[in-house]
């Protein structure tokens, strides 16, 4: 098992972000929701027990609603503004991934007392700056940056902020930053994450950069953590392009690219669908010439989506994305191998099984 395989398998099978169903019993929510469905039949189409990108539900007599809540706490230590903005944007992309148009956002921020000092920058987790690049500010000043990041992303995406909450009773270095997004389903039926059909093409829209390298950093493959940068204009173009694609073509499966990037989006899709994939990372549109295959595989650059479509529609999807100002490419296909294989110029970068290797434990 090579280092990048270890990194991606840690993200998929160990890190809590991708294994929340191992820490929380979604079955208790399914039991509750099944009971509530007796009062509101056919209202909940995709609930938390499905472990998909977001929930989909119907407001009685008023269409389908898509909802997602996402925390984005750790990135808000070195980059409060970008961390909060990308948290909001990521929750919005999850709504889009289900076929929804984000409409409303609520947020919660938990922090230290507003007059306490905090360190913002690469050394923020240590509580003392040794790099000379950090900034000391009050917790209240950091809250203002968090709020501005959320607000600016909502402005870029034309999403209402309808409420939220603030607590100053937190003592941890890491603030709590949580965004909840509700949208309206605009496709005929919800789009879901699991791979559906062997032979489908994998189409990536959006460009990959070197930011959002958290998973590589935790695996010891890079020396400096670079949280994902907020891409306001690109995020809006990607949303608009994705919704146009969904309205124009038969999309079999869809995922946004968040934590652990292409690797997690593809590997989770085939794992949940009981299929496999082969991905050529050299085909992915990139922002920088010196980006490594491992960074293309795992980095969490924002404003990206992956679609699974019939091969005859793949180039048409790419063209539709480009019509909307977003780069795109066919990067692979769905297979029956029950594993995801990632290559770069015919060199195998990683092979990720659908089942966790023995001995891996959630931290």
CATH number, domain with residue 321: 3.90.650.10
Domain boundary among 151, 185, 219: 185
The answer to the question of residue 35 being in a domain is no
Give the integer Cα–Cα distance in Å for 287 and 234: 12
Q: Where do runs of H (alpha helix) occur along 167-299?
A: 214-218, 232-248, 261-273, 293-298
Residue 167 domain boundaries: 53-185
Are β-strands 100-110 and 117-120 bridged in parallel, bridged antiparallel, or unpaired? unpaired
**% the chain with pLDDT above 70:** 99
The answer to the question of residue 33 being in a domain is no
188 Cβ partners below 8 Å, 6+ apart?
none
Domain boundary among 123, 152, 185: 185
Do 335 and 228 fall into the same domain? yes
Do 344 and 221 fall into the same domain? yes
- Tens digits of residue pLDDT in 272-330: 999 999 999 999 999 988 999 999 999 999 999 999 999 999 999 999 999 999 999 99
Q: Per-residue pLDDT for 219 more than 70?
A: yes
Distance of CA 335 to the CA centre of its chain: 23
- Tens digits of residue pLDDT in 98-123: 999 999 999 999 999 999 999 999 89
Do 275 and 136 fall into the same domain? no
b (16+ CB within 10 A) / e for 136-175: ebebeebbebbbebbbbbbebbebebeeeeeeeeeeeeeb
The pLDDT assigned to 362 comes to 66
Angle formed at CA 1 by CA 358 and CA 308, multiple of 5 degrees: 85
Q: Are 114 and 168 in contact (CB under 8 A)?
A: yes
Do 143 and 253 fall into the same domain? no
Q: Per-residue pLDDT for 178 more than 80?
A: yes
Q: Per-residue pLDDT for 14 more than 90?
A: no
The answer to the question of residue 275 being in a domain is yes
Give the integer Cα–Cα distance in Å for 270 and 289: 29
For the entire predicted model, the pTM comes to 0.89
CATH number, residue 106: 3.30.1330.10
The answer to the question of residue 116 being in a domain is yes
- Report the length, in residues, of the chain: 363
Give the integer Cα–Cα distance in Å for 130 and 132: 6
């Amino acid at each position: 098992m090579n280092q990048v395989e270890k990194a991606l398998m840690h993200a998929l099978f160990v890190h809590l972000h991708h294994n929340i169903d191992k820490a929380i019993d979604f079955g208790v929510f399914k039991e509750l929701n099944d009971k509530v469905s007796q009062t509101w039949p056919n209202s909940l189409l995709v609930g938390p027990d499905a472990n998909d990108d977001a929930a989909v539900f119907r407001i009685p007599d008023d269409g389908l609603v898509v909802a997602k809540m996402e925390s984005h706490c750790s990135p808000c230590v070195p980059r409060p503004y970008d961390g909060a903005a990308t948290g909001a944007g990521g929750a919005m992309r999850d709504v889009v991934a289900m076929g929804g148009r984000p409409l409303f956002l609520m947020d919660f921020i938990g922090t230290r007392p507003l007059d306490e000092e905090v360190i913002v920058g690469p050394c923020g987790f240590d509580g003392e700056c040794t790099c000379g690049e950090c900034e000391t500010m009050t917790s209240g000043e950091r809250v203002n940056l968090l709020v501005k990041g959320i607000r600016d992303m909502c402005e870029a995406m034309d999403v209402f902020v309808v409420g939220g909450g603030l607590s100053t009773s937190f003592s941890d270095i890491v603030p709590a930053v949580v965004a909840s997004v509700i949208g309206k389903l605009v496709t005929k039926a919800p789009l879901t994450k699991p791979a559906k059909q062997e032979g489908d093409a994998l189409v990536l829209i959006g460009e990959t950069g070197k930011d959002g390298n958290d998973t590589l950093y935790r695996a010891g493959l890079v020396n400096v953590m670079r949280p994902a940068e907020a891409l306001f204009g690109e995020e809006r173009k990607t949303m608009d392009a994705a919704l146009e694609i969904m309205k124009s073509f038969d999309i079999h499966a869809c995922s946004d690219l968040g934590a652990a990037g292409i690797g997690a989006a593809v590997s989770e899709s085939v794992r949940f669908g009981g299929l496999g994939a082969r991905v050529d990372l050299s085909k992915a549109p990139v922002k920088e010439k010196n980006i490594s295959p491992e960074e293309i595989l795992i980095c969490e650059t924002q404003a990206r989506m992956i679609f699974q479509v019939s091969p005859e529609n793949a180039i048409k999807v790419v063209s539709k994305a480009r019509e909307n100002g977003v780069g795109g490419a066919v990067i692979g296909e769905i297979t029956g191998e029950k594993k995801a294989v990632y290559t770069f110029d015919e060199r195998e970068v990683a092979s990720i099984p659908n089942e966790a290797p023995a001995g891996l434990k959630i931290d």
